[in-house]
């Protein structure tokens, strides 16, 4: 079955369809610097317009990459808190556009 919005997959092959913030935390927490060094989160379709990845750094911490070609965004950051990474990625991904999802309104009501 295809994910409704996006899919997270680690180097070891672990994957989660439409992961929650807690699920992202657990996936990132399972990363290590030997055989499971990164995870990629992106829409579950061919040629996705955006992706984000988290990779273990040799010196400790994580490199977080966010890229969205439709918005011309490309951000690379270093972070040590898995909790902060999971929270930030959940917020960032919620702002992406998905076919079939109602449009988001940003005005004040």
Would you state the pLDDT for residue 99? 57
Convert the pLDDT of each residue in 79-99 to its tens digit.
Answer: 999 999 999 999 999 988 765
Radius of gyration for the alpha carbons in the chain, expressed in angstroms and rounded: 14
Q: Say if CB 9 and CB 28 are below 8 A apart.
A: no
Whether 107 shows a pLDDT value over 60: the answer reads no
Question: pLDDT grade, residue 4 (50/70/90)?
Answer: confident
Tell me the C-alpha distance between 101 and 50, whole Å. Answer: 16
Helical residues (DSSP H) of 1-109, grouped into ranges: 21-29, 82-94
Convert the pLDDT of each residue in 9-67 to its tens digit.
Answer: 999 999 999 999 999 999 999 999 999 999 999 998 888 999 999 999 999 999 999 99
pTM of the model: 0.85
């Amino acid at each position: 079955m295809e994910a409704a919005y996006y899919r997270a997959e680690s180097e070891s092959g672990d994957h989660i369809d439409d992961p929650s913030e807690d699920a992202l935390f657990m996936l990132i927490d399972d990363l290590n610097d030997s055989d499971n060094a990164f995870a990629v989160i992106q829409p579950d379709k061919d040629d996705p317009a955006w992706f984000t990845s988290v990779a273990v750094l040799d010196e400790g911490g994580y490199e977080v990459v966010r890229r969205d070609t439709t918005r011309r965004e490309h951000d690379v950051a270093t972070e040590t808190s898995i909790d902060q990474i999971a929270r930030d990625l959940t917020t960032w991904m919620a702002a992406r556009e998905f076919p079939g999802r109602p449009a988001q309104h940003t005005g004040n009501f």
